[in-house]
Structure formats: structure tokens, C-alpha cells
Amino acid sequence: MSDALSNTAPLLDWPEAGNSRVPYRAFADADVHAAEQKHIFQGKTWQLLCLADEVPSPGDYKTTYVGETPVIVARDENGDLKAFENRCVHKGAMVCLKDRGNAKSLTCVYHNWVYGLDGGLISAAFAKGVQGRGGMPDDFNVKDHRLRPLRTAEHCGLVFATFSDETPSLAEFIGPDILQRLERVLNRPLKILGYHTQILNNNWKLYVENVKDTYHAGLLHLFFATFRLNRLTSEGGVVIDPTGGNHASFSKRRTIHANAEYDDSKLRASRDDYRLADPSLLDSFDEFGDGINVQILSVFPNFILQQVENSIAVRQILPKGFGRTELNWTVLGFADDDEKTTKMRLKQANLIGPAGYISMEDGAVGNFVQRGIPGALDETSIIEMGGRDHVSDNTRTTEASVRGFWAAYRSHMGL
């Protein structure tokens, strides 16, 4: 363990079994959570801020978070994207209180310090004093002060940022295999169809684990299995980048076939007596020409891209303390969609989101864990489905991408 995290060493004494065992304390300790803010969210990672279409014109801005750090992303007078911490250098107050807007400059309401769209300080009210008295010292220079900047990068209409100058380029950080699968879906100009936001009463890492858990979909999600959108018997697999932090899982609906495991009455995740009152909910077409009807992709630590049939969305994960998480969904279509396709995407959007027929369960199971572990913080979970490594595979009956997440997590945390 690195010296930087020596204060948390007793809290996360990692088992010798490595990434196939995870201490429950990792999900329920305030000191661990504080260390994550420094070493992951303000460390050498790229994180989703917004879509470029949310700040399309000069002067447009949007507020968001990187971990628990408030951030502003703005388009300056030249049309360039900028991002900086939403914290006035004077007294630490948030500069922007609105979710989004358009402005020529940004003014802190507390003492009226004014910033440009690049985050640089323009003026401080009464810096010269009043009637020759008071004011800032003679050597005070607004050019010496600015809102703390982040590096930004845009790809496929998505805006990412990092606090670290040492973070590799966005393409290098994501890696070629995962980048190819991101570009597979976001292959043309986007159109924002709507938003969902939900609060999860569990640690942020439990939601990430769930996203990377490729074999729970056919077990937890009754809708998936019953209506044969996704079963472990279908052709599919998981792609994991060498760091372990980024993954894409996929399956092909047309290759699903009956099997004894799903027909076994002891398995809850299949019901033959359920029917849809409106079967058109599941109308779909092979949009990308490869037969893949479900692809879930993640980039460490907070970005998810989802394709479920023709329902496309990006998700942003934001920790809010060690036992609470904000999950933001942006539902997408494409600029060249006709009215019929847009209506179909909106109808299929009922599959996902806080009350989605599929993803509703994902919003609950993390809390089941969070409630189950307080008396066992020195115990560990068992993550051995599919082995103990974190390599790509042509099956989804594996927890390889979950182990990959913990490999990346431990690397960034120095564990």
C-alpha cells in the first residue's frame, strides 16, 4: 500500500485472494470514501461531465460534479469547451447555483467576484476600496486567481474531464477495444430525448459492481428472462480492457434458446404465464447490423453507456457520501431519427430508468447489500464466477469484469 493511503491501511487490509475477495468495509467507511475523492475522482481518471449538445452555444454552461466536487462546464466566446471547479476562490462559495444557463460571465452571489467563461477572475467588487479606504492590498492582481481548471475532452458527443495533468489521453484511457464498442453505438450526431435522476441508498461501488456483473441479468431481471430479451443461453460475452476498469458486455436476442436451467421451476427468473398488454413495447430493429440487442459498457469510474434493444442512454454515477449515490440518466436518440423511430425509443425507454421494467431491480439490490453488511465489515464478498482473473470471455456467466473493476480500483487507490 502506498504511503499516500497509509491512514486507511488498517481499514482496507486486502485479502491475499486478491480481486476475487472484496472487504465489505470498502462500501461502508467514511475514511475510505474520503480517500476515493482524492485518488480516484480527483486523480488520474476521465469522468463524464455532460453531452456536448447540453452546452451548444457560446455562453452556455451546465453544472455537475466530479465525485463530490462541484464543477462548471462552459462554452467560451470562441466556442471551446472549458471546465472548472464551481468554488469561488474568495470564500469557497459555489459560483453557479443553477443547473444550466447562458451568460457572458459568472458571478459569485456572496461577494460579487466575477469570472470569465474560461474560469479566470475578471473582477472583485470594491477591490480598490470605498472613498479611498479599505480594499484589497496593492499587489492584488485578478490575473493571479482563477477557478481550478480541469482538462476536457470530447468524443462521440460526450464531454469528459480530469483534474490531473498526468491522466493519459481519453482514447488511451478508454482503450481501443472499449472505444470501438462505444463508437459502435454513438456512431452519428445525437439527440437528447430526456432525463432520469434517482438516489440509490448504497455505496457508489455497489452500483458499478452491478453494472459490471454480467450474469445477474438473467437471474435478477424477471422481465429480461420472461420476454427473452436477455438470457445467459444467448450468444454473447464480455470485453475487458487490460486495466480491468473498462468493459463492455453484449448478447444477441435472436440466439436465445430454451434450456433446462431456465425451465427449472426453482429458478425465479422465468415466468411463462406473463403477457404484455402492449407487445409493441418490444418492437425493435437491428440498428447496428450485428444482431446485438443488449450492450452495457462502462468506463472507470463513473460512466455507463447502455443499448437495450433500441433504447440508448448514458448514465453518470455520483457518490454522495459512502452510503448514498446519485444516478443520472440521459436518454438518447440520433439527429437523423424519423418520428416513428423516436416514438419507439421513447416507448422502449420504459425498460430503463428508476422505474424501468428491467432496471428497477438494480436500484434496489445495492441497498440490500448496504443493509446486509454493517455487522460484517471485516468479512469479504466472494467473486469467483468464471474464475479469478479479469480477462475477456465469450460467456457472460462470469464475474470477470467485476474483478477487473477492483483491479483498477486498487491500482488508483494504491492498495
281-321 per-position pLDDT tens digit: 888 899 999 999 899 999 999 999 999 999 999 999 999 99
Q: For the chain, what are the domain ranges?
A: 47-154, 176-413
DSSP-derived 3-state class of residue 319: strand
Indicate the pLDDT class of residue 1, thresholds 50, 70 and 90.
Answer: very low
Indicate the pLDDT class of residue 10, thresholds 50, 70 and 90.
Answer: low
Query: Into which CATH architecture does domain 176-413 fall?
Result: Alpha-Beta Complex (3.90)
Q: What are the φ/ψ torsions at residue 61 (nearest 5 degrees)?
A: -140, 160
Strand 236-240 versus strand 69-75 pairing type: unpaired
385-398 per-position pLDDT tens digit: 999 999 988 888 89
**Mean pLDDT, all residues of the chain:** 90
* Contact residues for 314 (Cβ-Cβ < 8 A; gap 6+): 48, 51, 158, 303, 304, 305, 306, 329, 330, 332
Question: What CA–CA distances, in Å, run from 63 to 43, 49, 51?
Answer: 20, 9, 12
Percent above pLDDT 90 for the chain: 76
CATH superfamily of 47-154: Rieske [2Fe-2S] iron-sulphur domain (2.102.10.10)
The packing angle between helices 204-212 and 362-372, to 10°, is: 130
pLDDT at 261 over 60: no
The C-alpha cell 480492457 sits at: 241
The C-alpha cell 427473452 sits at: 228
Q: Which residues pair with 231 in a beta bridge?
A: none
Instruction: Tell me the C-alpha distance between 390 and 387, whole Å.
Output: 8
178-230 per-position pLDDT tens digit: 999 999 999 999 999 999 999 999 999 999 999 999 887 767 666 766 666 65
pTM of the model: 0.91
